[in-house]
Amino acid sequence: MGQVMSDYISEAENALLHTYNRYQIVLDRGEGVYLYDLEGKKYLDFVAGIAVFALGYSNEEYKTAVKEQVDKLMHTSNYYYNVPAIEAAKRIKKMSGMDRVFFTNSGAEAIEGAIKTARKYAFLKDGRTDHEIIAMNHSFHGRTMGALSVTGNPHYRDAFEPGIGNIRFADYNDFESVERCVNEKTCAILMETVQGEGGLTPANEDFLRKVRALCDEKDILLILDEIQCGMGRTGYDFAWQKYGVKPDVMTSAKALGCGVPVGAFMMTEKVGSHSLVAGDHGTTYGGNPLACTAVNKVLEIFEREDISGHVREVAPYLWEKLDELMKKHPAIKEHRGAGLMQGLVFDTPVAPVINKALDKGLILINAGANILRFVPPLVIGKEHIDEMVSILDGCIEDV
């Protein structure tokens, strides 16, 4: 490592709060599906900023739109209307089939809004404030207190208890477990359509359909977290569309802005007209013209270029190549996921493989100690998959 990069890392360690164990590189720029560090070293990126950079780096059309908006107007607050937010809402309604949109600054904030929506919806029915939400074990929904409270991993929650309260955890893909948690206080069932941090596990169609039917029967809201698995990642604009099981409330973020921090929670008209009203929820930055210009351009490109269709074309090739790796290396015990959101489960921690790959110019991340996660830009081609597998194969051999 050169002196300049080393100096920056030392400065970061002295100035930034130590909440991340960062890899020892300083990234400087990106082009397509490649990143470059300060010393000019090139890396094939199969992380995409944790499923954010769906369109790859330095997309000219996207950059131009954002730059032009910077020159016009970046922020007004929600006391006023702005055209980018209106256009972005119209586009995301069309893509999602939802009816009402609230723009946030992050995925965690979208989850917070979804929780408030569910509790207000239930409150308006019976005036009670003791309603419960059922979330899933091994889930991940964010780090703010509300999002943390519905994250089904005690390791993340223990030091910060008590959370918001009235949360029950069921087992993902186990309908009887969900049924056991339901009572007269249940106002919502919340889950990722494909669990991300919990191990790249898709919902079973039968499970999702049974949960939807249960929610319909008891007027419980189904909230689907599509922050990581949405925006084309599974080969559908939103993962639930594959199953045809529409949620009452849905969250989105990550690839929604392709790098500009933005999220959203959406709902059906029924929920929208029987939940949050003026004064119930707000955000200073949410829905600002800059972020919504990014959203609008991302959605325009997704539709025009059929990004989800491209994922359906290339994802089976990634699946095939990772399957071949699993057959070759006994240390790999399982392969799971959907679309360009896949994981390899190893019998030992994968950190040494990730570090070796970084040395060889390949960026990967984990999902849990023993799982390699593959969430590349959605614009990758088969040649990039071949390059990745070639490097990874050697890294597994070495480790």
For residue range 347-367, list pLDDT tens digits in order.
Answer: 999 999 999 999 999 999 999
pLDDT over 90 at 2, yes or no = no
Q: What is the pLDDT of residue 106?
A: 98
CATH code, domain with 199 = 3.40.640.10
Mean pLDDT, residues 134-143 taken together: 97
Give Dmax over CA atoms of the chain in angstroms: 64
User: What distance in Å separates the CA atoms of residue 10 and residue 24, rounded to the nearest whole number?
Assistant: 10
User: Please, which pLDDT band fits residue 78 given cuts at 50, 70 and 90?
Assistant: very high
Residue 119, in any domain of the structure: yes
Provide the residue range defining the domain that includes 20: 3-58+307-398
| Burial classification of residue 183, based on how many CB atoms lie within 10 Å of its CB (0-12 exposed, 13-18 middle, 19 or more buried) | exposed
Q: Same structural domain for residues 155 and 275?
A: yes
Tens of pLDDT along 196-244? 998 999 999 999 999 999 999 999 999 999 999 999 999 999 999 999 9
Hey, what's the torsion of the CAs at 283, 265, 107, 58, to 10 degrees?
-90
pLDDT confidence of residue 94: 97
Residues 236 and 151 in one domain: yes
Residues 47 and 182 in one domain: no
Domain check: are 250 and 355 in the same one? no
Q: Residue 120: pLDDT band by 50, 70, 90 thresholds? A: very high
212: β partners: none
Sheet holding 186-192, edge to edge: 100-104, 263-267, 249-252, 221-225, 186-192, 132-136, 167-170
Span 269-323, pLDDT tens digits: 999 999 999 999 999 999 999 999 999 999 999 999 999 999 999 999 999 999 9
Residues 6+ apart with CB under 8 A from 370: 345, 346, 347, 348, 349, 350
What whole-number percentage of the chain has pLDDT above 90? Answer: 98
Name the helix (H) or strand (E) containing 295. Answer: helix 289-305
- DSSP-based helix, strand, coil % in the chain, nearest 5: 45, 20, 35
The verdict on residue 66 lying in a domain is no
- CB neighbourhood size of 11 (10 A): 10
CA distances from 288 to 142, 296, 356 (A): 22, 12, 41
Q: Do residue 103 and residue 40 come from a single domain?
A: no
Asked whether residue 1 carries a pLDDT value surpassing 80, the answer given is: no
Q: Domain for residue 24, yes or no? A: yes
Q: Find the radius of gyration of the CA atoms of the chain.
A: 21
So what's the pLDDT on residue 3?
Answer: 84
Question: What pLDDT does 50 receive?
Answer: 97
Give the closest residue to 118 by CA, choosing from 238, 228, 281, 258: 281
User: Cα-flanking dihedrals φ and ψ of residue 337, to 5°?
Assistant: 135, -165
pLDDT at 107: 98
Dihedral-angle region of residue 243 (phi above 0 means left; psi in -120 to 50 means alpha; beta otherwise): alpha
Q: State the CATH number of the domain containing residue 316.
A: 3.90.1150.10
In-domain check, residue 15: yes
- CA–CA dist 226, 194 (Å, integer): 8
- Residue 33: inside a domain: yes
Tens digits of residue pLDDT in 61-75: 999 999 999 999 999
- Within a domain: residue 19? yes
Q: Which of 281, 305, 329 is the last residue of a domain?
A: 305
Does residue 357 form part of some domain?
yes
Beta bridge partners of 265: 102, 251
Kindly state whether residues 90 and 210 are assigned to the same domain: yes
Per-residue pLDDT at 167:
98
Number of domains in the chain: 2
Query: For the chain, what percent of residues have pLDDT higher than 70?
Result: 100
b/e per residue 196-217 (b: at least 16 CB within 10 A): bbbbbbbbeeebbebbbebbee
Report the predicted TM-score, pTM, of the whole model to 2 decimal places.
0.97
Angle at 291 between CA 312 and CA 15, to 5 degrees: 100
Same domain, 179 and 230: yes
Burial class, 60, CB count within 10 angstroms (exposed 0-12 / middle 13-18 / buried 19+): exposed
Average pLDDT over residues 128-138: 97
**326 and 284 share one domain:** no
> 375 and 293 in one domain?
no
- Check if the beta carbon of residue 166 is closer than 8 Å to that of residue 130: yes
Check whether residue 287 and residue 216 sit in a common domain.
yes
Query: Do residue 283 and residue 329 come from a single domain?
Result: no
Last-in-domain residue among 305, 325, 348: 305
Strands 371-374 and 341-346: antiparallel
Residues 343 and 239 in one domain: no
Q: Do the domain assignments include residue 63? A: no
Helices (H) and strands (E) in the chain, counts: 15, 17
pLDDT at 23: 93
- Among the candidates 283, 305, 327, a domain finishes at 305
Whether pLDDT at 37 is above 90: yes
